[in-house]
Every structure is written in C-alpha cells, then in structure tokens.
Structure 1
C-alpha cells in the first residue's frame, strides 16, 4: 500500500515535474520570442531612422536647387549666358556651403550647356564635370517635373565614384512667370562626409556598402542581407540579427532605374533580447531546484521585465521629448521657434479669451543685420543673434515668451499687459536692450531694432490675424526710419493694400511707354551756364494719371522693381542722347540716379558700358548719382564699381549728402567727382545758422579734397546769392527751372548753343520753339 502510494506519488511528482517542465519550456519560448519581436521592431525602427536621415539631408539639396533655379539672374543667364555669372555664383565656397559636389545646366533641347565639379580637397572647380558622371541626365528630359516631385531617395544614380543624389528644377523667374525649359541640377555624392551627416541627422553610426562597383565589399555581407537585396520589392528597410547579441539595420538605395546601388547600415546591440533570454534561463534553473525558488524567481523575472520595459518606454519617451524639443526650439539661441509659436499661440489666445484679459504680440526685427553678416562673417552674426536673444529675455517678464521666428526676427508674446502704458514700456525696454553696444569676438557693434505691436482682441481674434497685423505694424516702423515701435492701426491695412496695388501696376508699367523722362537743368552758379541735366523718372498710368515719384519710387525700391526700372531709365537716357547726337544737337552730360539695389544685384558698370557702346555714345555724356546707402551696404564693392564708371569717362556724384549716415570723413574715401548737398539744408540756409554751418563745412571739406559741389532745391535769389558767396560750384532747383519734357529740353540745348547763360529768356524762347514745332511733330 505504502509502496503503491509512493509509486503514485512518484508518478504524480514525475507527472507534475513533466508538466511543469513542459510549461516552463513553452513559457520560456514565448518569452524569448516576445523579446525577439520587440528587438526586431527596434531594429526596423532604426532602419527607418536612416531613411528619414537621408530624406532630411537631401531635402536641403532640393531647397538649394529650387532657390537657384527660380531666380531672375539664373533666368537671365539662360537667355544670355555669361562667364561672369558663373564666376560669381558658382564658386568653391558657394557649392561647399550647400554641400553640392556637382552642378549642371541643360538647355531646353536637353544639351549640357554648363557643368562643374567641386574638387573640395583642392578648393577649386573643374570645368566641365566628367561627362561619365552626367550621362544619366538624358533620361530626365522627358518629364523633369516628375523627377522633381519624387522623394529624395527616388533621385539617386550610380556612378563609378559611387551613388550620387541629384535634385532637378526647371529654370524660371522668381515669380514663376517665364519657364525656360532649361534644367538646373545640383548633385551630391554619398561620400564619407555625406554619410556622416546622415548619421548625425539619424543619430546612428551609419556606414555605407556599395551593392555595385565593389563586389568584394558586397560579398562580405551576410547571405540573408544579400538575398533581401536581390529580391526586395518596395520596402527600403531591413533588419538582420548578426548573432544573439548584435543586430544590423539596413536601408537600401536604388537608382532611377530601381537598381540597388548601395546599403546604408547601422549596428545595434540586442539588449532587450539578451536580458530576456538570460533572465528566462535563470528562472528555469531556479524552478528546477525548488518550487519556492521558482515562484520567487518568477516574481523576480516579472519585476525585472517590467522595469526593463519601463526603462525602454521611458527612454523612448525621453527620445520623443528630445525630438519635440529640437523641432520646436532654435538650435542657436535655444529659444522656442516658429513651430512652437504656431502650436502655442492659439492655446494662449484661448486662455486669454477665457480670462477676459488681453494678450500682446511684439514682432521684433533687427535693423541692417544683413550689413553685419555680410561685412564680417556668419559666425559674428551668430554671436550677435545669441547676445540679442539673451538681452530680449532679460528685458521681458517671467510670464512673457521670447521666440526666434527666423534669421534676425523675434516674437515676444506678452500676456496680461493691462494698459497701453505697460505695452509701450515693454517695447521701449526691448529697443533699449538692443541699442546697448554689443561686444563680439574682435569688435563692438551697435544695433537697433524695429518693433510692430498687435494686441488681442483689439487687433485680431486669432493667431494668423495677430501675426499679420504685428507684421504690418513692423513694416510701418521700418518705413518711419527704424529704431522705433509702432502699434497696429486699421489704416495700415489700407496703406498696405495701396502699396500692393501700386506695386502690381508698376510691375506692368515697366518696359512700356507709361514710363517717361523729364530733365532738370544744373547751372554753374558763377557763370550762369547750363552744365548738365538730371534725368527724372515719371509714370503716367492710363487710369491713375500721372503718379508722383514720391508714391512709386519707394514702392519700387522695397519690391526690387527699382532694378528693371533703373535699367529702363538708363536705356531711355542713352537712346535720347544718341538721338540728339544724330540730330547734331549740342550735348551736355545727363545724370542718372542709381539705386542701392542696382549696385547690389547687377554688374552695373558693365551694363552701362555695353549700352553706351551699342548706341555709339561716349560715356562722358553720362553721369551717375549714387546715395550714401548704396555704397555703405557694400563699400568695397561699391568703390570698385564707382572707379570703373569713372575710368570709362563718366562722372559720379554723391547724392543727398547731409542725410542718413552722412559723415564728412567719408568724402576722403570715396572716388567721386561731386557732392550734392541735400535740399533740406539749402531750403533754410538764409535763416537757419545750423544749416548754413553744415553747408559751409561740406563746401570747405570738398574744396580741400578738390571735389565739385552741387546744391539741390534752390528756389530763391537769396539762396542763390548765399551759395555763390560760399563758393558752391553748381546748383539746381525751381529757381532755375522745374523738370522739363524731352522736346523742350532739346530746344533749350539748341538755344543754349547760341546764348550760353541760362536765363528766363532762354527758357521762354525754348518753350516757344517747342510749341511752334508741336503741330509739325
């Protein structure tokens, strides 16, 4: 009986142990499988990170291609290729800064009209690029838009030097109004630097293995990976386990023919699977010794797994939070960025609405930051931005939010400012904070800022309206001379609408007969002789009538239309001088105003020389009036351009001297022929001792430097006598003549050939001649 009981007990124990062993084995297998699944998912996720890193990096290449391809100067190059455009815009530094290894331009027939390869180690360009590297370009001509719209990883070609990504765009004007059919390609090799950037973006130690071109390297890959490459369909990613403790994430690059060209891989350790496997074995061993130990070990396992899982979840949560922080904060200043503003501002407006309290938005823009950035370097500019960001934060309250919305622009969101007095006080503190001298690495600079202010709910009920109205107020602050703040007013919307209407109408008028010229005489103050004319732009709109230059010239300067407008005025002046020359009319020089933007964007002296040569006109009959701001924006370049104009035989005048940044010491550095004293000082010269002193100082300095002087805005005989006694050389103004039409100008020149002194009688006779010739014309 006892023996049977022992037997049954033994059988029971044996059966129980067997069931327990089977249960433990099944459980162990399930646990290990679960860990492998988690680990495989993490490996696959890292492969996706590699693809995202490729996309993010190559998107910058696409942005650079679009910026160059949809650019008026690039459009002009297609119409009339010049080596100068290539030399200025395709340099080793410019391509290196965009991380472009090769550039190519295809004409509308698909033929290669320009190419260059950056030899970065030698810091030079090779012209043209090796033809073998661009052979694929013929495949792009059939549907360039399709290639442009493909994702970055869909624009890869294989070359003897390895995989190469390209971006393509049809060359067009900046307003997309005139597609040329020509194509611009920027190309980048997947070289070690590119792989390093992808690794930095994806935060993984990425390496590359070529599928084609290096069979030995490819043969070292595991069979499983090579099999996947050979049979893979649309998925670009793959995860493979090298052993129990290591895994590898792969991203496959295909060329434009869908042929595999390279594998990007990143290793990782199978921490979770290893931990799970070891813990499971520990559990099984412990249960085999004693049931209690098994229970205890099982509890320990569950706790360890839970902790491990929570650590993994916490790590992923921290990673997501890091990514969110990076996406919503500026990397230079650590301030919230535009993404954060767009996300957070609606919430703040909702809170303000619930509490019934106002919310103030201040749009801050640094004045003339571009001058610092271009005259120094971007490193100095970055230092300045960081210091300004710190000062803006120090000038605000703890409840306020300072945001860097881009470049040199900041937004301050200030809740709970109850009165206009508090709003003005905050804006003034921000201005003062920027005005303080800023010490940089090797210099100390002074900056100012312009601020536009909009207040919820008075100036806008939602984020878009508030941002728009603050921007409009900022625009007004800049119009009023910068270094100030402006509160939004509804009238600003009306003025902006008028500005837009004038801009659109002017855009259509440029190049047509709506733009015409008038000429204002310049007279020698001592002899009374006519010495030259100043050409003045006029606009006669079919509906608006004659539009004042005070309305359309500022619009042209702000919109960039001053460049084509100035080109038209220059051409009209040269054509008019040529016509007078053909008709044997006595000539005097004609001065043309040159806007700062013409100096900045165009090779102005070359264009002047080409037009004069084309119309067989001696450049000595042309003069150019340049404002101080034109050469201050890039003084070195401007001095070279002025020297070039004078070398061709033209005179160059410094216009509106005495305003803006004027400084008498500038005169000794400028290669100019004359200074034009602004009419603001001439107007009160006989009654204001200060204005008289300024004019006297300019005349004295100009005399010492052997520079001619011209007074603007002479309207009375008293002003004329005063200027003549001071020793001023020439002058212009309504006292002598208002601007006159072209036909009257010709008659005046013919009269002056006989009667050299400029008098009312001469003007009257010229007008009579003009009226008498009008019917015949």
Structure 2
C-alpha cells in the first residue's frame, strides 16, 4: 500500500506529464489553474501568471481562496466547489471579479471542469478569460451612452434618425412642445407625411441632396404651433455606412426676433417707425427698376415741416417728437398701401408713389397731404398748427437715378418754401439752376473773409424834422472773383444756414465800429450806427463779450450803436435770446425792430422786449402814396410807437411824395434811395461833409 506522500508525488508526476497541460502551457491568452480536492493548486499555466501576478512556483500548493478569491466571496466560492465535488452540482460559467497579487480586481469569465484521475482523485480546473479590456470597453460605452443621454436632456433640439427615404425610425427631445405631431403619429412614417406640404418639400429636397452628395445641409422654416409662430433651423447629415440620415432641429424663434429687432433698427426710424433714409432710398431704387421695366411713372415728394424748429426750440423736444410721430401718422393715412412714406431725418420726410398716371393723379395726393395738415395738432393741452412745404420730382421727366430725383425734389421743396410755405412745387430746370447757384455761393463763401472779399457799405439815416444826417446803417456787400457781385438776399440766408454768419457778423460789427469812431472824429458829430444781428448770431454764447470788447477796443460809446433785430430772432423764444437782449440793453446799446408789420406777433414783442426804435418795412412805405390801407397802417404804427416812447424809422423811401407824407405823419427818421444808396466809407464821409456845408 502506497504512503500518502508517495501518492502525492505520483499524482504530481501524473499532472506534470499530463498531455492536457502541454496544451494549456502553449496558450498564454487564457489562464488555466488546476486544484485538488482540497482546493490546493496543482497546475498554474503561463496565462495565470500573467493574469494574476503569481508565478507557478508561488502558486503551486497554495489554497485557491488564499491566492485569488476576494475575501467577501470566499465562503460562497468554497461552498460551491465543495457541493460540486461531493454532490456533482456543477458551477455554471459566469463573470466574476477575482484578485491580483497586488490586490487589484481582475474581472474574468470563468469556466470550470472536474476530472477524475486514475487514482480516483478529483481535480478541478478553472479556465479564466481576462475581461479587463471588455469591461473597459463596456464602461466606455456606458459612459458615452450616459454622456449622450445627459447631452440630449440638456439640449433643447429635436433629434431624428431616419432611413435614406426619410422614414423616421427614432427621435429624442427634452422639449416635446416643439414636436409638430405626437411620436405615435410620426414614428415609422416618412418625414414628408408629418409636416405641411411646403415644409415637407424642403425636407425631401435636402434629404435627397445629403444622400447623393454626402454633405451637411442647413435651412430655416417656420411652423404655426399651439404656442404661436415658431422659427426652426434644420441640419441634415448622412451616415453613409449605416444608410441612415440624422436630422437635428433647433428652435431659433428668439434669435429670429432679435435679428428682426436689429434689422428694424437698421432700416426703420426709431421715433416714427417709418422707413429711414437708407430703406426709403433702397425702395426708391427698386421702384426705379420696376418703372423702367414696366414703362411706368413714379413720383417723389420731398416734404419739410414749416417752422418745426421754432416749435421744437420753443416748446421742447418732447412736444417736437410727438409732432413728428403724429405727422408721420397723417402722411401714412393719405398714401396707398403700396406707396412708401419715409423719414429722411429731422423734420424731413419722403413719399414715393408708384405707377402714377399723370400730374392730376399726383396733385390729388398732394392736395390731400396739405389738407390733412390744416387740422391743428392737439398735444398736451395745446392746439398747434403745423404746415408743410412739398417738392415734387417725377420719373423719368426729372431724373432717372435715386440721387438725381431726390436732389430735384429737394430743390422743388425749397421753391415751395420761397412761395410762402404750406404749398407745393414741381421741379423745373430753372429751379435746378437756382440750386446750383446756391451751391456755388456756399462753396465760394468758405474762405471769403480770409480773401477780403467782403466790404461794409453804409446807408445814410436822415432826421426828417431837421433834414440832417444823424447816422447810417451798416450793410454788407460781397464781390467774388468767380461769381461777381452777390446780393445780400442771396448770400445772407446761406450764411445763416451754414453758420458762417457768425464770423461774418463779427466782421461787420468790428468794421462798422471802427469806421464810426473815425467818422465821429472827422466830422466831430455824434453819428449813430445801425447794425443787423441775425438769429444765428444770438445763439453765439460769445456775442455779448465780443460786442463789449469791440466797443472798448474801437473806443465807441454803446449809446451810438443800434442793433436791428428781425421778428425771426424773437420767435425762437429761447431764454438765451431774452438774456442777450437784456445784456445788450444794459450795455446801453439801442434795440431796433426791423421789418415791422411783416410778422405775426410784432406788437407783443414790443411789449415784452426793451425796443428803442421801430423800422417800418419798405413794402408799406412804398404803398402810402397809392394805397389808403397802407397809409392808414403806417399812420397807426407811428402813433402806436410814439405812445410807447419808441422812435420810428421808415425804410425804402424813394420819392419826395413819400417824404412829405412821412413828415406829416411825424415819422422820426428816413432811409432810402431818395437820399442815397448804400456807399463806401470815403463816399459817406464826403456825403456828410457836403450836407454840413448847407
């Protein structure tokens, strides 16, 4: 009978030489271990060494549970093996996590088999396949799935997966309110059957394109949803290898609204909501193309609100803005839906009329526009009257380009202003010549002071009672080498408009005071000097300082100076006007109201401001010998002025008959061609010496 030791040795010898072991030794990718009935290692192949970290020498003779079985599952594993050995209940193949020599987990797929050797001893073999790579791959897949799921949950887009024919196989969304139909109504159906025809056609076209060209297509569309009109952006790509199409749809309603707001600000006036200059001119260009193609006529109206600036400056910008808004509304109500009303800026508007038949058709619209402004504007408890001046240019009669037509309509509008405002004017070639002349004058005016082109002339002022020279009025004259002599009626309004009147006016004041000082000294006579002050000069904050300094440097008494002011200055109503008038009065300068009787509120201004002199406009003086109404009016003006302690000057006196009548009416001073035209300094000095000799 063999001893136990001999039996173990024989068993070991059998195991070592077992041909099965040669097979296992040749396979390193699979870990194979053999155990006896006591779970002691009797075989440990190279694969087991690589998988668990123990060498064969370290493992042989060791208990299975002491080597690779984690502590928490030792008992169940031992129990399973014992039951198999004793009762034959097999251990099923399964995934299990075992332990490496370094203590780390080793995931394996483990299979088991029992052999009985020739000595009737049972031997348990474990065949383990390393699952580390598989587990890592599974973990990565799970990670990606969870990450994708999280992304899907956070992204508000609609996601569709469909075949190359557009049949929807799968969808995902975190926001079902943007689904046009319920999933049960579109899963398994073509995308084209689930949307309105026009939108479906877009999808079909783009799906065909991505399948054919393997590109990414993007387009926008809109759908009426329960929550309102929704704008979408669709992106389509092709999974060629899987013959599938991916469609991602995003709600871009907010972006669309923002873009519309930006677009509206870019193309529409923020105050009146009318098309702005850019959009109006763009529409004009479109109209011109259509008119040329269809052989039609179009009309362009250039509109300017009369005296809007005075209202704006007097009552404030808030009232001014309300007037502009209401004006825009009235203009829009008159024109047809297909016509355009635009705001060019400030108080300037443009109206574009398409397909006009003749001037009569245009005039109907014009009359309606003028009529709608005759009704007063009720704003903040005030009733305001605002009229408009309107210039008309026609295509193709008055131009064929946007710039040409707009320029000519603008010229016609200025003609309407000159006709008395609250009216219209068609463009003519004569107007164009007038505007070109205006532009030439404006161009030459720049630098005219520096080139010494301006000269001050002086018109004598006569004391009618003593028939004596008491002073003169300073009047500016301009001779330009290119344009010749330019009348004040031409260049003064342009100088006022451009602001050049400020330096030019300062030049006149300085020249006049310099001459007055020399004139008074030469004749030893307290002559006076009248100087016109324009509305723009009153806006110059340095006016008072300049006048005071000039009086000092030229050594002239303020009492010898008379500033003539038109009603246009006073109508502005701004506080700086009153402050300037009071300041000039405090200096001792006399104030004269020029062109009395031609304005609307002259009497009220005489009461409000400290005027010393009143000048009767030449239009009334001219008529006193032929028109009783003019005679009565001049008589009343002189009487009223004297009752207020104001002296009266009659300008434009040209005949002896006028002199006699004005003398009878007790007028104080006269000016006009009857005595002399405006003259140069030397001529006035000679004239005054001549008068003193008589």
Once residues 403 and 420 of structure 2 are traced to their aligned partners in structure 1, the CA distance between those partners, rounded to angstroms, is: 26
Give yes or no for the alignment of 1:382 onto 2:321: yes
TM-superposition CA deviations, 1:513-556 (whole Å, max 9, x none): 32222211111222212221111112233354433333322332
Counterparts in 2 of 1:354 and 1:523: CA distance versus 1, 3 Å: same
Q: Which residue of 2 aligns with 1:283?
A: none
Preserved contact between residue 463 and residue 670 of structure 2 (Cα < 8 Å): yes
- Cα separation, partners in 2 of 1:296 and 1:636, compared to 1, 3 Å: closer
Deviations 1:305-358 (A, max 9, x none): x99865603443344334323432233322222232133222222222222211
Distance 1:488 1:38 in 2: 60
Please report how far the alpha carbon of residue 631 of structure 1 lies from its aligned counterpart in structure 2 after TM superposition: 1.6
1:171-194 alpha-carbon deviations (Å, 9 max, x no partner) = xxxxxxxxxxxxxxxxxxxxxxxx
Q: Find the counterpart in structure 2 of residue 696 from structure 1.
A: 635
Q: Would you say the 8 A contact 1:519–1:535 is kept in 2?
A: yes
**Structure 1 residues 722 and 412, CA gap change in structure 2 (3 angstroms):** same
1:507 aligns with 2:446: yes
Greater relative contact order (CA < 8 Å, ≥ 6 in sequence): 1
List alignment gaps of at least 5 residues for structure 1. Answer: 1-6, 8-17, 40-274, 280-293, 756-761, 763-777
CA–CA distance in 1 between the matches of 2:313 and 2:486? 36
Of 590, 594, 599, the match for 1:660: 599
Q: SS of the residue aligned with 1:416?
A: strand
2:548 pairs with 1:609: yes
Is 1:344 aligned to residue 283 of structure 2? yes
Displacement of 1:625 in angstroms is 0.9
TM superposition score normalised by structure 1? 0.58
Indicate whether 1:394 and 2:340 are aligned: no
Pick from 321, 328, 334: which aligns with 2:260? 321
Partner of residue 369, structure 2: 430
**In structure 2, distance between residues paired with 1:578 and 1:403:** 56
Q: Kindly provide the CA deviation profile for residues 176-225 of structure 1, in whole angstroms up to 9, marking residues without a partner as x.
A: xxxxxxxxxxxxxxxxxxxxxxxxxxxxxxxxxxxxxxxxxxxxxxxxxx
Going from structure 1 to structure 2, the CA distance change for 1:581 and 1:348 (only over 3 Å counts) comes to: same
- Which residue of 2 is the match for residue 268 of structure 1? none
Q: Which residue, out of 463, 470, 487, partners 1:524?
A: 463
Of 447, 456, 480, which aligns to 2:419? 480
Q: Return the offset for 1:511.
A: 4.0
Shift of the 34–650 alpha-carbon distance from structure 1 to 2, 3 Å rule, reads same
Q: Which residue of 2 aligns with 1:539?
A: 478
The aligned residue for residue 404 of structure 1 is 343
More helix by share: 1
Aligned to 1:551: 490
CA contact (8 A) 2:616 2:649 kept: yes
Deviation, structure 1 residue 627: 0.8
> Tell me, what secondary structure is at the counterpart of 2:421?
coil
Superposed displacement of residue 690, structure 1: 1.8
- 1:420 equivalent among 355, 359, 363: 359
Distance, in Å, in 2 between the alignment partners of 1:525 and 1:296 is 105
Contact kept, 8 Å, 2:516 with 2:527, in 1: the verdict is no
> What secondary structure is seen at the aligned counterpart in 2 of 1:404?
strand
Kindly state the Cα deviation for residue 637 of structure 1 after the two structures are TM-superposed: 3.0
The 8 Å contact of residues 587 and 749 in structure 1, kept in 2 or not, is answered as no
Partner of 1:563: 502
Deviations 1:439-461 (A, max 9, x none): 00131111111112111222222
**More displaced 10-residue stretch of structure 1: 412-421 or 19-28:** 19-28
Query: Is the contact between residue 539 and residue 547 of structure 1 (CA under 8 Å) also seen in structure 2?
Result: yes
1:543 and 1:336, CA in 2 relative to 1: closer, same or farther beyond 3 A? closer
2:301 aligns to what SS in structure 1? strand
Cα distance, 1:709 vs structure 2: 0.7
Q: Distance in 1 between matches of 2:436 and 2:521?
A: 46
- 2:660 matched to which residue of 1? 721
- Mark the runs of 5 or more structure 2 residues left unpaired by the alignment: 1-92, 94-134, 158-171, 177-182, 196-222, 226-231, 233-247
Write the distance in 2 (CA, Å) between the matches of 1:555 and 1:501: 11
Distance of 1:555 and 1:342 partners within structure 2: 27
Instruction: Indicate conservation of the 8 Å contact 1:639/1:671, yes or no.
Output: no
The alignment of Structure 1 onto Structure 2 pairs a total of residues equal to 491
Q: Deviation at 1:383?
A: 1.4
CA distance in 2, matches of 1:464, 1:37: 51
2:523–2:689 contact (8 Å) kept in structure 1:
no
In the TM superposition, what is the alpha-carbon distance from 1:435 to its structure 2 partner?
2.7
Whole-angstrom distance in 1 between the partners of 2:608 and 2:343: 38
- Partner Cα distance (1:400, 1:378) in 2: 29
- CA gap of 1:416–1:525, structure 2 versus 1, over 3 A, is same
Shift of 1:602: 4.0
Distance in 2 between residues matched to 1:542 and 1:351, nearest whole Å: 47
Is the 1:31–1:276 Cα contact (8 Å) retained in structure 2? no
SS state of the match for residue 389, structure 2? strand
2:680 to 741, 753, 757: 741
1:616-635 matches, cutoff 5 A:
616-634=555-573
Asked if 2 retains the 8 angstrom alpha-carbon contact of 1:336 and 1:402, the reply is yes
1:390-425 superposed Cα distances (whole Å, 9 cap, x missing partner)? 111122223322222222221111112211112122
* C-alpha distance 516-330 of structure 1, shift in aligned 2 (>3 A): closer
Secondary structure of the residue that 2:555 maps to in structure 1? Answer: coil
Question: Any residues of structure 2 matched to 1:147-296 within 5 Å, and which?
Answer: 276=173
**Quick check: which one's strand share is greater?**
2
Write out aligned runs for 1:731-770 (5 A). Answer: 731-752=670-691, 754-755=692-693
Residue number in structure 2 paired with 1:681: 620
Instruction: Give the secondary-structure state (helix, strand or coil) at the position aligned to 1:601.
Output: coil
Deviation, structure 1 residue 27: 6.7
* Bigger Cα Rg: 2
Residue 614 of structure 2 aligns to a residue whose secondary structure is strand
* 2:649 counterpart SS class: strand
Residue 715 of structure 1: how far off its partner (Å): 1.1
Rounded to whole Å, the distance in 2 between the matches of 1:313 and 1:471 is 43
User: In the superposition, relative to structure 1, how do residues 277 and 654 fare at CA in structure 2: closer, same or farther (>3 Å)?
Assistant: closer
1:670 equivalenced with 2:602 (yes/no): no
